[in-house]
Structure 1
Amino acid sequence: MKILTFSTLFPNGEKPGHGIFVETRLRHLVASGQVESRVVAPIPWFPSTHPRFGNWARFARAPRHEVRHGIQVAHPRYPVIPKVGMNLAPALLAQAAKPAIARLIDEGFDFDLIDAHYFYPDGVAAAMLGRYFNKPLVITARGSDITLFPQYALPRKMITWAAKRADAVITVCNALRDEVVALGVDADRVVSLRNGVDLHLFRPTERTPNAMFTLLAVGHLVPVKAQDLIIGALPLLPGVRLVLAGDGPDRAKLETLARELKVSDRVTFLGAVPQAQLREHYGAADALVLSSSREGWANVLLEAMACGTPVVASRVYGTPEVVASPDAGVLMGERSYQGVADAVNALRANYPDRGATRRYAERFSWDDTTDGQLRLFEQVLLRRAGKLALA
C-alpha cells in the first residue's frame, strides 16, 4: 500500500520536534512492512534566514527535501498572509503542495491514499488535493483543530466540508470523536485510534530520591498549556519544586510570576529539550503535571508513565482516557492554583508504585494503532475499488 502523508505538522532539520507525534505514528506504520510512504509537509514561506526574525528564520532555513528515518519528505513553501490568512490558508496550502505531489506521481510514486493530519488548514487542503488528484482521503483530528477552529464560522464550514468529503476520519481519543460526529459527520466513518508511546525510548532509569518533591512540566510555554497554574500552586505546596522543559513566548511572563510569588528558587527553566533527552527528566521527577486548557491526546502523559512517573493532569478532552487508573496518576478537580495543589497532594498521599505506573503505560504500545490504521486504509481502498467497479 502506498500512502501520501500530508501535514504542516511534521519535523524538519531545523525544527526536529515539530509535529513529532505525526512522524512517530508514521514510522510505526511503515515498520509494519505493509506500507510505503512519502511525506509532503509544507512550511510557511519567509524570505530571510536572519536570526532577528526568530522562528520565521528557522522556517526559512529548513530543507526543501530530506530523508528522515528512511522516509522521503518534501517541504514545499506556502504563503502566510497576516490577518486574512486564516480563511485563505487551506487554498494557499493546497496550491503550494500540488507541484510537489505531481512530481511524486511523475517519479513513479502513484500513491493509493492521502493520509492527512490536523483538520485546519491541513485537512481542508488535503480534501482539495484529494479531489484534484482523485485519491481517497483519511484525515486525523488531533485536538484544537476540532475543539478550537470550529468556533469560527468559515473555518467550521470548511472543516465540516472536508470531514464529510473524507473517506474516513481518525480521532486520537473518543472525546474528539464525539466532537467530529457533532459536526454532522456519519459516525460510521469516524474511528478513534489513540496515540501510543515508544516503550523502548521511554523507560525507567536509575534514580535517587529527590531532596524536594519534584514536579515536571513538559511542553511549549504557551497560554493553552497553562504552566502559570503550576507555578501559582507552589506557594500552597511547601517543599515542592518545579522543573519546566520547553520554551515559548510565555517564558518571561512565567519567570515574572515566579518572582512575584517568591518561588523563583523552586522553579527551574530548562528551555527546549530534545525528545531523546526527555527520558532522564521524566525519570528524575516525582510527578509530571499537565494543566492544559485543551488537549486531544497528550503524549507527554504516556511518556512520563512509561518512565515510571505518575501524572497530575487537567480533566480535558482525551486526558481522562489516558489517566484512567490510580497507577497512572490523578486528575485535577478544577484548573486553578488550588486545583493543582489539591491534585498534587492527593497523589503524594496515595503515591503509586513506579513499576505499576510503567506496567500501566505498557498497555499503550503503538501496535494496536498501527493495526487499526492498516484495517481502515484497506477498507477505504476496497470501498473505493467497489465504487469504481460499479461505475
Structure 2
Amino acid sequence: MTLNVLMLSTLFPDISRPNFGVFVERQARELASRPEADVTVIAPVGLPPWPLSLAGRYAPLRALPRKERWRELTVYRPTFPIIPKFGGRTNVTTMTRAILPLVRRLHAEKPFDVIDASFFFPDGPVAQRLSKALGIPYSVKARGADIHYWGTQSGTRKMVRQAADGAAGLLAVSDAMRRSMARMGIDADKVRVHYTGVDLDTFELTDRAAAKAALDFNGPVVLSVGALIPRKGQDLLVRALPQLPGVTLLLAGQGQYRRTLENLAQELGVERRIGFLGSVPHHKLPRIFAAADIMALPSESEGLANAWVEALACGTPIVISDVGGARELLDRPEAGRIVERDPEAIAEAIRALLDNPPSQAAVRASALRFTWQANGDTLLAHLQGIAAGS
C-alpha cells in the first residue's frame, strides 16, 4: 500500500532562493523516488500585509507560482501574512488559517496518511493543527535553530513543546540534538535520529592541486561555508588569521554580518587574505571544497551541519566546535579537529592539519555512511510506522 505523505516545509528552495532548504528538498525527492510513497509538498511563503508587501525585496516571492512541478515534486506555495521582525509567534495562526483550505481540498481528493513537518517552528505547531483538523498523525524533525532558538524563546517555547507532545513520532538530525530535546522535557523515546545525506557522486575526491589551479587559488586555503551570521563564528576565523601567515580564508555565504567581518579584517590587517564568495550555488560547492585544504566552521550551535559532511565527502578535513553532532561525525582523527571557540585554538588546529595533512581518501571515509539512500530508508520506515500506529 502506498503511503500518501503531506510534507510541510517553510524551508524549501524556490527560483528566487535556490540554496534555501536544499537538504529538505533533497530529502523530499529521495522519499518521493520510492514506489512505497507519494509526496505532496506544501511550502508556505510568508509575505507582509499590503503595502509592505510591495517592497522590492518581496517581489521575487510575490511572483512565485502557487503550484509548480519542482524537480519531480508537486509543490504548493500558498502565501500567509507575516509581521517582519516581530511576527514569529503569530506565524503559526496565520499560516494555519492560510493553508488549511488547500490542505482540506487535497485531502478530500486523495487522503493523506501522515504529515511530515520539516522544521520545528513554525512547521511543527502548524502540523499539529492540521493533524487535529484532518484526523491524521504527524511527525516533526528537529534540525538545530528550531530547538536551540525557537525552543527557548518565551513566546514560542510552549508551542514547540506542545507540538512535540502531540506528535506521533519525532526526528532529530543527531543524537546530540535528541539529547537537547530531552533536556527540554521532550520524550526522548519518541525521537529517532535521522542523519542527513550527501550525494557521494557529486561531492567526490578531486586532485587538490588541480582544483586549486582551476580556481586560481594559491597557497593554503581555509574555507568556511555558512550564512554570515554571528552564530556561525566566522569572526573567530578572521581573528585566527594573523596567526596563520600565508593562509587564505574564503567565506562562502551571505548575510548582514559581512560588513562586521570586513571591518574586523581591516583592523587586524588581514583583509588581503580574505575572500567573500557570496552565496555559492549548491551544485558549485564541490569544486570549492575540493580546492580547500580545510573547511572550518566554529559555530555557537548546530544540529549536524550539512557543510561538515559535504567537506568530508570531498576529502577536505574540518575544524569545528564541539556542538551538535560534531563528535558523532568526527569518528577518526583524519577527519579533522574539534576545538574550543577560541582564535588561538582554531589557529593551532588549522596549523596541525596543514603541517600534516591526512589523505583525502581517509577523510572521505568518515562521510560514506551519510547517504541519501540511508536517509530515505529511515524516513520511510519512520513515517510508515506512524501511519500504521506503531
TM over 0.5: yes
2:300 to 293, 300, 304: 293
Question: How many residues are matched?
Answer: 381
1:351 to 352, 357, 362: 357
Q: Secondary structure at the match of 2:106?
A: helix
With 1-10 and 178-187 compared, the bigger mean Cα shift is at: 178-187
- The alpha-carbon distance between structure 1 residues 49 and 61, as it changes in their structure 2 partners (threshold 3 A), is farther
2:252 to 245, 253, 264: 245
**1:375 alignment counterpart:** 381
**What residue identity is the alignment partner of 1:131?**
K
Task: Give the C-alpha shift of residue 325 in structure 1.
Answer: 1.4
Task: Give the C-alpha shift of residue 51 in structure 1.
Answer: 9.8
**1:194 alignment counterpart:** 195
Q: Distance in 1 between matches of 2:43 and 2:139?
A: 16
Q: Show structure 2 runs of 5+ residues with no match.
A: none
1:74 to 73, 76, 97: 76
**1:173 alignment counterpart:** 174
Q: Distance in 2 between matches of 1:221 and 1:317?
A: 19
Post-superposition Cα deviations, 1:58-90, rounded to whole Å, max 9, x if no partner, equal: 322333222111101011111112464122111
**What residue identity is the alignment partner of 2:362?**
A
Task: Give the C-alpha shift of residue 313 in structure 1.
Answer: 0.7
Moved over 6 A (4+): 48-52
1:59 to 61, 74, 77: 61
**What residue identity is the alignment partner of 2:70?**
R
Post-superposition Cα deviations, 1:127-161, rounded to whole Å, max 9, x if no partner, equal: 11111111110100110111122222331111111
Q: Distance in 2 between matches of 1:383 and 1:225?
A: 39
**2:231 alignment counterpart:** 224
1:279 to 268, 286, 293: 286
Post-superposition Cα deviations, 1:208-246, rounded to whole Å, max 9, x if no partner, equal: 166421001111111111211111110011111111111
Please, what TM-score do these two structures have when normalized by structure 2? 0.93
Q: Distance in 2 between matches of 1:82 and 1:355?
A: 46
1:335 is aligned to 2:341: yes
Q: Answer whether contact 2:294 2:317 (CA < 8 A) is retained.
A: yes
1:29 to 15, 31, 35: 31
Q: Answer whether contact 1:12 1:63 (CA < 8 A) is retained.
A: no
2:369 to 348, 351, 363: 363
**1:185 alignment counterpart:** 186
**2:261 alignment counterpart:** 254
Task: Give the C-alpha shift of residue 357 in structure 1.
Answer: 1.2
Q: Secondary structure at the match of 2:382?
A: helix
Q: Distance in 1 between matches of 2:249 and 2:51?
A: 37
Q: Distance in 2 between matches of 1:83 and 1:273?
A: 26
Q: Distance in 2 between matches of 1:48 and 1:66?
A: 26
Q: Secondary structure at the match of 1:230?
A: helix
With 351-360 and 232-241 compared, the bigger mean Cα shift is at: 351-360
Q: Distance in 2 between matches of 1:362 and 1:315?
A: 21
**1:310 alignment counterpart:** 317
Question: Aligned Cα RMSD in Å?
Answer: 1.9
With 340-349 and 275-284 compared, the bigger mean Cα shift is at: 340-349
Q: Distance in 2 between matches of 1:184 and 1:251?
A: 37
Q: Distance in 2 between matches of 1:148 and 1:49?
A: 27
Post-superposition Cα deviations, 1:73-113, rounded to whole Å, max 9, x if no partner, equal: 0111111124641221111111111122123224x332111
**What residue identity is the alignment partner of 1:224?**
R
**What residue identity is the alignment partner of 2:24?**
V
**What residue identity is the alignment partner of 2:349?**
A
Q: Answer whether contact 2:7 2:41 (CA < 8 A) is retained.
A: yes
Task: Give the C-alpha shift of residue 50 in structure 1.
Answer: 9.5
**2:90 alignment counterpart:** 88
**1:204 alignment counterpart:** 205
**What residue identity is the alignment partner of 2:129?**
M
Q: Answer whether contact 1:143 1:295 (CA < 8 A) is retained.
A: yes
Q: Distance in 2 between matches of 1:94 and 1:360?
A: 41
Q: Distance in 2 between matches of 1:131 and 1:279?
A: 43
Q: Answer whether contact 1:312 1:347 (CA < 8 A) is retained.
A: no
Task: Give the C-alpha shift of residue 305 in structure 1.
Answer: 1.0
Please, what TM-score do these two structures have when normalized by structure 1? 0.92
Q: Distance in 1 between matches of 2:170 and 2:267?
A: 46
- The alpha-carbon distance between structure 1 residues 163 and 200, as it changes in their structure 2 partners (threshold 3 A), is same
Q: Distance in 2 between matches of 1:48 and 1:280?
A: 43
Q: Distance in 2 between matches of 1:347 and 1:103?
A: 56
**What residue identity is the alignment partner of 2:370?**
F
Q: Distance in 2 between matches of 1:114 and 1:246?
A: 32
Q: Show structure 1 runs of 5+ residues with no match.
A: 385-391
- The alpha-carbon distance between structure 1 residues 267 and 148, as it changes in their structure 2 partners (threshold 3 A), is same
Q: Distance in 1 between matches of 2:372 and 2:359?
A: 24
Q: Answer whether contact 1:93 1:122 (CA < 8 A) is retained.
A: no
**What residue identity is the alignment partner of 2:381?**
R
Q: Distance in 1 between matches of 2:79 and 2:156?
A: 22
Q: Distance in 2 between matches of 1:150 and 1:71?
A: 30
Aligned sequence identity (%): 38
Q: Secondary structure at the match of 1:140?
A: strand
**1:137 alignment counterpart:** 138
1:160 is aligned to 2:164: no
**1:388 alignment counterpart:** none
